[in-house]
Amino acid sequence: MSIARHWRERTVRYRLEGQRHRHTGEVRFPVRPPALDEDPNDWEPYQLSGLGEIYSFSVIRQAPAGFASLGIYPVALVRLAEGPLVTAQLTDCDEADLAIGMPVEMVTRRLMDTGEDGVLVYGYKFRPCLR
Amino acid sequence: MTNVYIIGMGATPVGEHYQRSLADLASEAARAALASAPGIAPHQIGALYVGSAFSEELYGQSQLGAYLAGVLGLASSVPAFRIEAAGASGGLAIYQAVQAVQNGLPLALVIGVEKVTDQLEDAIEAAQAMASDSNEEAFHGVTLTAQWAMLMRRYMHEYGYSADAFAPFPINAHANGAKNPLALYRFAIDAARYRKAAMVASPLNLLDCSTLADGAAALLIASEQLAREFTGPRIRVAGSAVATDQPALHRRRNPLDLNAARASAHIALGRAHLGVGDVHVWELTDPHGIAATLALEAIGCYEPGTAPRHAAEGAIAPTGKTPIATAGGYKARGDVGGASGVYQVIEIARQLSHTAGATQVAHARVGLAQSLGGIGATAVSHVLLRES
């Protein structure tokens, strides 16, 4: 993935910045362009709390290219406190301790192998709640 | 609009074809399809539709329309297209051919082709993950298998199943695949072996995960006028439909609901003036038991939360109420990527021609083939009908 593409996603990946609808209060994450029948002015940037709970999870033992350095690693669908589901890796946990419904919080971690361009790619992961 | 028929079909074995190129495989399938339609000559082919999911990423070849038209020696005036919708590519290529024939083209050739084994496992996993939302899912190292695994775990949680409850799906697939000479895995498995299999992406184990392999399959799609020249039972494409859903699982209201799978099946059945209960044999995108489960429930064959129970009681066997994977399904025939949709329609056509051999569904007259791209982000359904 190119350097510009990582840079472009920085508010989403480092700050967990989503969007909130000014009238309905609906929260969207990650950000995306307005649908054709939506008014672009109705969506404002919105910082998520980073708190949520595990909706489901899996532990990957056959990593795709670019993730070999992670070895065996857990991934999850996390239901954020503000409503949206998000796909992310889990960290700082043992597989045996994971369960659907477990409270988790966002942390910033290195996400993948260092590629040919030498960029260290950081982003959100979730870990069992310390708060 | 004219009625549309399948008048020829052919396929290569699914496997690790290290000695053969993408062109070799596509050529063999197309020749076999022509050989199965005596009296049809190559110059009658009015258009070529190629379905392939991974030809750029895993084989380094784009523009398969022109590329394969050249390999086959089609005239330069014959329009040729490559259709891509991940695992639904082949189903979508058939859809496009059917549309063309409905609108006056006498004869179209469809080829589904995939050549993946030149690459190692990690590259194949990464290529498959591109069918997700690459920014929001693949970027985080999530694979297609892990996504199905998360749906399986959620399903187990909501409906109180253990992982063993999904064993009937691969057991049925392997029992049928063992009798299919074109299948990737021609051996049976049992519940004891399933329980002992190593994890791939928990709770999915090795015996509940399909393998992506090489292969090509071809169909000749013809107008009613051309089809009338053939004797024997005619196989009509009675209804086809395409539907889509958000590729990102987390953007869906209920990730366990394969919305596009339901919509495409129901619209296709509606176009055929048939209902779910009229279908005698099914081909589903079933790389894992959970995938077959969610499709059967979305389409309305079974209530949510009950498909594994029906499968355990024999409902998905060739003698059951909803036979699936009669040629081995994705698990035993093999996942042929964008070619899978063409293999699926060939199996339904064999069933309706009553030439399916040991896994023949008795008196099958109506079949539905559904191919999914990603986790049902694209869903293509074809309803086939035997006219006697």
Sign of CA dihedral B329, B330, B336, B341: positive
Q: Give the bridge partners for A19, in sequence order.
A: A28, A45
Contacts of B149 in chain A (CB under 8 A): 58
Indicate the helix (H) or strand (E) that contains A124: strand A122-128
Residue A117 pLDDT level (bands cut at 50, 70, 90): confident
The model's pLDDT over A8-23, given as tens digits with 9 standing for 90+, comes to 989 999 999 999 999 9
CB contact under 8 A, A62 and B201: yes
Instruction: Identify from A26, A87, A108, A124 which residue to disrupt to test chain B contact, counting B C-beta atoms within 10 A and taking the largest count.
Output: A87
Q: Enumerate residues 6+ apart whose C-beta is below 8 A from B41.
A: none
The model's pLDDT over B199-252, given as tens digits with 9 standing for 90+, comes to 999 999 999 999 999 999 999 999 999 999 998 899 999 999 999 999 999 999
Mean pLDDT of chain B, nearest integer: 97
Rounded CA separation B140/B138 (Å): 5
The model's pLDDT over B104-137, given as tens digits with 9 standing for 90+, comes to 999 999 999 999 999 999 999 999 999 999 999 9
CB contact under 8 A, A64 and B129: yes
Q: To the nearest 10°, the Cα dihedral for B377, B117, B211, B97?
A: 40
Strand order in the sheet with B4-11: B80-83, B47-51, B107-114, B215-223, B4-11, B234-244, B378-387, B366-373, B281-283
Domains defined along chain A, listed by start: 3-128 (2.40.50.840)
Among B143, B150, B202, the residue with its CB nearest the CB of A64 is B143
Q: For chain B, what are the domain ranges?
A: 4-119+212-227
CB contact under 8 A, A62 and B153: no
pLDDT for A131 beyond 80 = no
In this structure, are residues B298 and B267 in contact, taking their beta carbons and an 8 Å threshold? no
The model's pLDDT over B1-54, given as tens digits with 9 standing for 90+, comes to 889 999 999 999 999 999 999 999 999 999 999 999 999 999 999 999 999 999
Q: A 6-65 residues with CB below 8 A of B? A: 9, 30, 55-65
* Lowest-confidence segment of A111-115, B271-275, B307-311, B312-316 by average pLDDT: A111-115
Q: A 54-73 residues with CB below 8 A of B? A: 55-68, 70, 73
Q: Enumerate residues 6+ apart whose C-beta is below 8 A from B265.
A: B241, B276, B298, B299, B300, B368, B370, B379, B381
Contacts of A58 in chain B (CB under 8 A): 146-147, 149-150, 153, 201-204
Token pair recorded at residue B373: 């791209």
What percent of chain B clears pLDDT 90, i.e. is strictly above it?
A: 98
The model's pLDDT over A46-96, given as tens digits with 9 standing for 90+, comes to 999 999 999 999 999 999 999 999 999 999 999 999 999 999 999 999 999
Please report the pLDDT score of residue B369 as a whole number: 98
Rounded CA separation B309/B329 (Å): 19
**E runs forming strands in chain B:** 4-11, 47-51, 80-83, 107-114, 199-201, 204-205, 215-223, 234-244, 281-283, 366-373, 378-387
Q: Give the bridge partners for A107, in sequence order.
A: A125
Among B122, B143, B154, the residue with its CB nearest the CB of A55 is B154
Under CATH, what is the fold of the domain B4-119+212-227?
Answer: Peroxisomal Thiolase; Chain A, domain 1 (3.40.47)
* Lowest-confidence segment of A109-118, B34-43, B95-104 by average pLDDT: A109-118
Please report the pLDDT score of residue A6 as a whole number: 87
Please report the pLDDT score of residue B159 as a whole number: 98
Could you count the other beta carbons within 10 Å of the beta carbon of residue B104? 10
Rounded CA separation B384/B271 (Å): 11
What is the identity of the amino acid at B181? P
Put simply, whether A103 touches B (Cβ < 8 Å) is: no
The C-alpha angle B320, B215, B115, rounded to 5 degrees, equals: 135
CB contact under 8 A, B141 and A60: yes
Please report the pLDDT score of residue A124 as a whole number: 97
Please report the pLDDT score of residue B370 as a whole number: 98
* Lowest-confidence segment of A2-6, B72-76, B178-182, B296-300 by average pLDDT: A2-6
pLDDT for A1 beyond 70 = no
Rounded CA separation B271/B277 (Å): 15
CA distance B208 to chain A (A): 14
Indicate the SS3 state at residue B8.
strand
Among A9, A63, A87, the residue with its CB nearest the CB of B137 is A87
Please report the pLDDT score of residue A2 as a whole number: 81
State the number of CA atoms in the 13 A half-sphere of A45 facing the CB: 6
